[in-house]
Structure 1
Amino acid sequence: MPIAEIVLLFIAGFASGAVNAVAGGGTFLTFGAMSLTGIPPIAANATSSITQIPGYITSTLAYWSDIRTFWRGALMLAAISIAGALAGSLTLLSLDNPSFRVMVPWLLIGATALFAAGPWLKPKPKAGQPATVGSFWGSIVQFVTAVYGGFFGAGMGVMMLATLGLTQTGDYHRLNALKNLLSIVIAFVAIVVFVSGGVIAWLPAMVMIPAVALGGYCGVWTAKRVPQNVVRAFVIATGVLLAVYYFVTG
């Protein structure tokens, strides 16, 4: 792999971790960088799932005290997420790269729009209410979200936080803790499927994983100095440019 590509992937991974720590949407950067280096879209999508794992884990650990209060109820949503992520990731593997490439710009537009609407989709705080999980409609919605997460993943966090806010109870931080926990479940299922399917680009993954972890750590510094609206605008612009790139080159 040329040095220039390694540098690009490392920078994209670092920026992804930092962006996720501030506003979310880092998957756009890792997916975009791999696309620019010529990695086929299915492999780029699958590899992006691996690169985000460090951030999911650290953010979940930060909410561990909240998770301990409702972990038994969360087990059912975790099981539903496993089923949905399995369905989504297997569906991705059933496609070939040309077929998936046709879908990518539309998926990017949808994910970018979802991310842009994120501030208006955040659940309203419900202070004083215990976090309860596992309603029938909440289970159905979580299954659909997990299918999307296993299939593509960009914007999954925003989507899940919004749907959990509509279908579960609890304050914002408890819902965010649940979202982080379920994101780990979905990501791990997708990774197992993608590794078994042989679609992971391992060298780019090894370059980006430590970069994402480092970027996530430095994201705290970024959050204190860069307005969140600026970071969100950067992510949205990246999503639009990627969609245009796939429309033009497709």
Structure 2
Amino acid sequence: MPILDAVLLFLAGFLSGAVNAVAGGGTFITFGAMTLAGLPPIVANATSSVTQFPGYITSTLAYWHDIEHFWRGALLLSLISALGALSGALILLGLDNPSFRALVPWLLLAATALFAAGPWLKPAPKPEHEAAVGSLVGSLAQFATAVYGGFFGAGMGVMMLATLGLTQSGDYHRLNALKNMLAVVIAAVAILVFVSGGVIAWLQAIIMIPGGALGGYAGVWIARRVPQNAVRGFVIAVGLFLAFYYFDKG
């Protein structure tokens, strides 16, 4: 691997971890960097799932006190999430790179729009002590979100938080904790499928993961000095750039 590509990937991992800590949307950066480094879009998408996974784990652990109160009730949604992620990941592996490349700009535009609307999609706080899980509408919404997460993933967190806010009870922090728990399930299942399909670029992932860890730590410093709207604007600009990049290449 050229040294410039390695530096690009490490910096992308760092930026991804930092923006995830401040505003979310790090997937746009990791996917874009691997695309610019010459990886096929399916490989870039699958590898991006690996690079984001440690962040899902740490976010879930940070909410462990909340999760202890409802994890048994969330097992049904976890199973539904696993089935949805399996379906989405298998659909992705069923495509060839030209077919997926044709979908990528539209997926990026949709994910960017979803991310931009994120502040208005956050659920309103509810006073219930525990998040109720398992309703039919909530289960169907979670399955659809998990299919999307297994297939592409960018913007999944915003989408899931919005649907959980519409279909579940609980205050914002409990819904966010549930979202993080389900994101771990979705990412884990998708990664297992991608590993079995041989579409993970492990060298690139190994370079980006330490950068993401450092970026997540630096995100605390950034959050205290850079307005969140500025970070969100940067992520939206990256998403639009990638979308038009793929439109142009198509």
Please, what TM-score do these two structures have when normalized by structure 1?
Answer: 0.99
Deviation at residue 221 of structure 1 after TM alignment: 1.2
Match of 1:163 in 2: 163
Could you tell me how far apart the structure 2 residues matched to 1:58 and 1:213 are? 10
- SS at 1:125's partner residue? coil
Checking the alignment, whether the CA contact within 8 Å between 2:15 and 2:215 is kept in structure 1 is yes
Deviation at residue 213 of structure 1 after TM alignment: 1.4
Could you tell me how far apart the structure 2 residues matched to 1:246 and 1:226 are? 30
Q: Name stretches of at least 5 consecutive residues in structure 1 with no aligned partner.
A: none
Could you tell me how far apart the structure 2 residues matched to 1:128 and 1:53 are? 30
Deviations 1:56-109 (A, max 9, x none): 011111000000000111111000000000000000000000000000000000
The percentage of aligned residue pairs carrying the same residue is 76
Could you tell me how far apart the structure 2 residues matched to 1:127 and 1:223 are? 28
Question: Does residue 7 of the first structure (1) align with residue 7 of the second (2)?
Answer: yes
AA aligned to 2:97 is N
Match of 2:23 in 1: 23
Deviation at residue 245 of structure 1 after TM alignment: 0.3
Could you tell me how far apart the structure 1 residues matched to 2:27 and 2:52 are? 7
Deviation at residue 210 of structure 1 after TM alignment: 1.2
Question: Does residue 67 of the first structure (1) align with residue 55 of the second (2)?
Answer: no
Could you tell me how far apart the structure 1 residues matched to 2:183 and 2:197 are? 21
Deviation at residue 128 of structure 1 after TM alignment: 4.3
Q: Name stretches of at least 5 consecutive residues in structure 2 with no aligned partner.
A: none
Could you tell me how far apart the structure 2 residues matched to 1:24 and 1:235 are? 8
State how many pairs are aligned. Answer: 250
RMSD: 0.7
Match of 1:149 in 2: 149
Equivalence map 1:123-142=2 (5 Å): 123-142=123-142
Question: Does residue 225 of the first structure (1) align with residue 247 of the second (2)?
Answer: no
- SS at 2:72's partner residue? helix
Match of 2:117 in 1: 117
Please, what TM-score do these two structures have when normalized by structure 2?
Answer: 0.99
Could you tell me how far apart the structure 2 residues matched to 1:4 and 1:130 are? 49
Runs (4+) of structure 1 exceeding 6 A deviation are none
- SS at 1:9's partner residue? helix
Checking the alignment, whether the CA contact within 8 Å between 2:157 and 2:179 is kept in structure 1 is yes
Could you tell me how far apart the structure 1 residues matched to 2:106 and 2:80 are? 26
